[in-house]
């Protein structure tokens, strides 16, 4: 099965992907450095189901300025 790809919720630490039983995976999200597209982006991946979490555009941890 192809791993899913989601936008990470602000300060999300646990995977909320539904598993085959319809329950949240709750796996721990770990920083994933093997992202082939944007190495600068903070990409996380669930260590259990390998769902990839892309950075949330609404969450700007460093600059503090939001560009809508």
Nearest to 8 by CA among 20, 35, 22: 35
Q: Which of 49/52 has CB closer to Zn ion? A: 49
- Contact between 52 and Zn ion by CB under 5 A: the answer reads no
Residue 33 CB, nearest approach to Zn ion (Å): 18
Check residue 64 and report its DSSP letter.
-
Q: Distance between CA atoms of 64 and 31, rounded to whole angstroms? A: 22
> Interface residues for Zn ion in 10-49 (CB under 5 A)?
15, 17, 25, 27, 46, 48-49
- The answer to whether residues 49 and 27 touch, using CB atoms and an 8 Å cutoff, is yes
The contact set with Zn ion (CB under 5 A) reads: 15, 17, 25, 27, 46, 48-49, 51
């Amino acid at each position: 099965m192809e791993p899913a790809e989601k936008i990470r919720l602000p300060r999300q630490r646990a995977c909320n992907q539904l598993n085959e039983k319809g329950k949240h995976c709750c796996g721990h999200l770990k920083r994933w450095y093997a992202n082939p597209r944007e190495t600068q982006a903070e990409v996380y991946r669930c260590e259990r189901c390998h769902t990839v979490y892309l950075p949330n555009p609404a969450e700007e941890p460093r600059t503090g300025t939001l560009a809508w």
